[in-house]
Amino acid sequence: MEWGTTVFVFQDDGVEIRIPNVPAWVCPCCGEASFTPDVTDQLIETLKELASTARRARQRTSRPQEYVVRVA
C-alpha cells in the first residue's frame, strides 16, 4: 500500500456521489483503497449531506440531472 489519493465513489438508490482527491492507502496493483478513521468519519458526514441534497433535487424533477460540486 502506498499513501496517496483516490476517488471515492458512492452509489445508492440511483444517486452517485464521486469525491476526488481523498487521502488513502492505495494498492499500486489493483487500486483498492483503505481510509484512516478520520477520513472515514469525514466521508460519512459528507455523504449524508450530499445524498440528502441529491435525493431532494431528484424529487423536484423527473429528468435525469447531473450536478458537479467542487470544493477548493
Contact partners, residue 30, CB within 8 Å, separation at least 6? none
CA 25 to chain centre: 16
**At 30, phi and psi to the nearest 5?**
-110, -15
Domain boundary assignment for the chain: 2-60
Most confidently modeled range among 8-12, 17-21, 31-35, 64-68: 31-35
What's 2-60's CATH class? Answer: alpha beta
Say how far apart CA 16 and CA 39 lie, in whole Å.
19
Say how far apart CA 17 and CA 8 lie, in whole Å.
8
Tens digits of residue pLDDT in 26-70: 999 999 999 999 999 999 999 988 888 888 877 776 666 677 777
